Structure 1
Amino acid sequence: MKGTIIKLVRGIYYVDTEIGVIKCKARGLFREKDISPVVGDKVEIRISSEDQTGYIETVYPRKTELIRPAVANIDRALIVFSIKQPELNTYLLDKNLIMTNYFGIDSSICFTKSDLDSDEILNRYVEMYRNIGYTVYVVGKTDYSDLESIKESLVGRITSVSGPSGVGKSTLINKINPDINLKTSSVSLKTERGRHTTRHVELIPLEKDSYIIDTPGFSSLGLDFILDERDLSDYFIEFNQYADKCKFLDCMHINEPECAVKEEIGNSIYQSRYDSYILFINEIKKNRRY
């Protein structure tokens, strides 16, 4: 019987099939082949006649996948970051955007807690990421004017909702569909870190052919999926229109003369994005050494 993995909890896969959700385990053969089924995978299962549990027999090829969170067959990613509590971490946001670009997944950004924007930095970042080419939404405790636009973007798609702990992902999902009623939690005032309320990845139906994938929060993200630092600039979308104009075809946009990308820093390319690029270059080099 064919189905879709909608939840994974402690090694138990919940597979949605034509007869309902079946609890399944994965065959040991997958471990030998280094195959790890994830939420969103299309699978074929065998159901035991004894207790009506199942075993995953086949994992079908994925059209898309992400590694953080580990999900498959999504159409787009909604990356959620708060302006305050916890503070906006643009390096971590840029890493998420690099990852979705690397895996060929369309992504948009949602900035939350706009009501805490006392020093008015929100507009600067909204303008920056929109100018780069991303769709950006803004929500706050009393401002959900972008909510309808977010809902429209989810129609007919499977969307992964991800971001650091405490930024308000569960609150946002509850606003999108109050029937879901996900557990929410406050941010620790001492550490300014969110408390994990989502413990597992879960695919949640919204309406016909529309789903969101709720994912646990995170505080870090590696770039080990990029093996060569020379490939990194391909995933900074604002670099692409200038890279062909550099003097050297293999320009790294660091120390080379007549670099069209560096010439645009402060104009079409934001300094903070270039700073992220340099930081990530060094991280990838370090990963390669080890």
Structure 2
Amino acid sequence: MDPSLAFFAPEGDTLVPTSMAQSMWSSDQMHGVAVSGALGRALERAVTALGRDDLQPTRYTVDLFRAARMQPCEVSTQVVREGSRICLVDATMTQSGERVARASAVFLKPTASTGGEVWGPDERPAPPPHDVAPPTDEPHVPYFHSEVGWTQDFGQHQNGSRKQSWNSAIPVVAGEAITPFQAAAAIADGASLVTNWGSHGVEYINTDITLTLVRPPVGVEIGLSAVDRVEQDGISVGTAAMFDRSGPLGTCVVTALANARRVVDMGGISYDDDGTRRTTS
């Protein structure tokens, strides 16, 4: 893997966004995948610093209340509560002293499950077949699924049908191996894409992310499948299931606002695995 392929380059305690962090909404704006990945990294490192390797992340919430620019940023954390079976941590991202995003996470200590029967769905989303997307831990252009099946051709999926994605996570910080939780935290922002991408492109921009996990992902390959979407008066709430090659992981919920003046048209866009963006006719 190219060691420079990451969303941020470290400069001491500062994270400097690379071109991989650039949003399609604006050339001076970071996308939520990078912002969420950086916040998730900080929260995980805070729990590691406590020596709590008995805990695992189970709920992660991000508020994207201001556009994060393509400028250096700092992420600070605060342990809100630490107990024998639970730890709550907050994180804040700042740029030039101004807060641009915040996150909170709940880490819990796993125990034995109970024996009672509880309802669960019979059908779960599945990754693309191995002959379409061979297993790998190398970053690649996401695969999408809609009425046309699994492909990496974005234009084929600009339609009104239900969508899924299959992703191999990009490292958050150059020179650091991405962890499974960092991968989940970053990819969770993609719930907005699978729930808000329609026949005219992406017309909604998400203001938050809530990720729930029953276990960490196995590796850094993670899928999202649209489960539900409700919309009224320019506000939408999208829900996606998160899964990996071993089965279901949890859910992602995003709240989004209509952004009709700056629609992201995915129909003429393609990417190489190194992040190079190409425009097709």
Q: TM-score, normalised by structure 1?
A: 0.25
Structure with greater helix share of residues: 1
Q: TM-score, normalised by structure 2?
A: 0.25
* Structure of greater Rg: 1
Structure with greater strand share of residues: 2
Larger relative CO (CA 8 A, sep 6+): 1 or 2? Answer: 2
